[in-house]
Each structure stands twice: as structure tokens, then as C-alpha cells.
Amino acid sequence: MSSNNTYSFPPNQNIQFTANATGGVSPYSYSWNFGDGTSGSGNPVTHSYSAEATYTVTVTVTDSIGETASASVYIVIAVSSLALAVSGTKTYNGNYYAVEGSTLTLTATLSWSGYALSGQTIDFYVNGTQVGSATTDSNGDASYQYTVNTTGTLQIYATYSGYDGYSSAKSETYTVYAVAPLSVSVGVS
């Protein structure tokens, strides 16, 4: 599969295919095999795929004297996946806790069809408010340092808005309970 004729799309997106025929005797007829058991005719044509896979799309052009020529492209249908990890918390009874004033490292890992996506922007949210953004590295990781500035329940998640055929994604929500720093005083009587 050559990368110069491979195109990526998320599921259920309408994709327009256009063939460019030259030579022979016009007019031409166009027959399409979409690689998923369906076919079409005409030029251009539109098709969508619901299942994640790689499809070979072939157009066969027939000219007015019965000569034929074919060309193919590869269509990769996949969804983006975004996983979130939060470090800097403490665990108690299966819950995650952070002390007000502490710093959490929010790390999102972005992949598409099993491959890391680098150079993509990830937005980080706490309680529905965007707190920062970071760009994914060659491993698909983007990290953001968040300083806990309140107490209460923190709902933390990351989003990817998609780009150039890559679908958008949202991570699972990570719940952290932010608590006041422990303090103690001594009384004497």
C-alpha cells in the first residue's frame, strides 16, 4: 500500500471520489468498486464506510470503443482514541485525592488506528473549563501541569478536535477529590 494514494477518514463520513480519464475515445463510463461489497457508477461518486478497516477502491473506465483502464486508492477508516492519565494524586479506598496547591500532571495519549499521532493539539479540561493545551510528541503523548487551586470534586478530561481526516475524540473523565492541606494545632491547658 503506497502512502501517496492512501487517504484517512473517520467512519460515516461522505467521501467523494473523482476519476480523471484521458486518451481513448470519449465519452467515458465509470464503474466503481468500493471494496466493501458495494459498487457504483458515474463520476464523481460519493460513498461512506461505517466499519473501521482499510478498503481498496477501484475505478474502471471504459471508453466509447470498449477500451478499459483501472486505478485504485486505499481508504483507511478509523477513529481516534484518547486516553488520559493523571499523576500526582494519592489513592485511598479506590478514590484519587489531591491536596490544594499541589500540581497534577495530566497526560493524554492520542492514537489513531493503533498508531501514535504526533504534532496534534490536545485540550485539557477541569470541571468543564479548559485549563490548557499541549501538543502530542512522537509517542502521541501530550502533558499539561495543572495546579490544584480549589477543594472539592475535580472532573478532569481531555479532548482532541480532529484534523485532516482524523476523527475527534474525548477521553474518559478522571475524578479527583481535592482536599485542603492537612494542618494541626496543639492546645495546652
Which candidate, 121, 5, 140, places its Cα nearest to that of 73? 5
CA 136 to chain centre: 12
Residues listed for the chain: 189
Q: What is the pLDDT of residues 4-13, one digit of tens each?
A: 588 888 788 8
**pTM greater than 0.75:** no
Q: What is the pLDDT of residues 117-162, one digit of tens each?
A: 889 999 999 999 999 999 999 999 999 999 999 999 999 999 998 7
Do 35 and 58 touch, CB atoms closer than 8 A? yes
Which candidate, 32, 35, 73, places its Cα nearest to that of 53? 35
pLDDT value at residue 3? 42
The beta-strand segments (E) located in 4-151 are 6-9, 15-17, 29-33, 39-41, 45-47, 53-62, 68-77, 80-87, 90-92, 95-99, 103-112, 115-116, 121-126, 129-135, 141-147
Which candidate, 98, 105, 24, places its Cα nearest to that of 65? 24
CA 23 to chain centre: 41
> How confident is the model over 55-67, as a mean pLDDT?
97
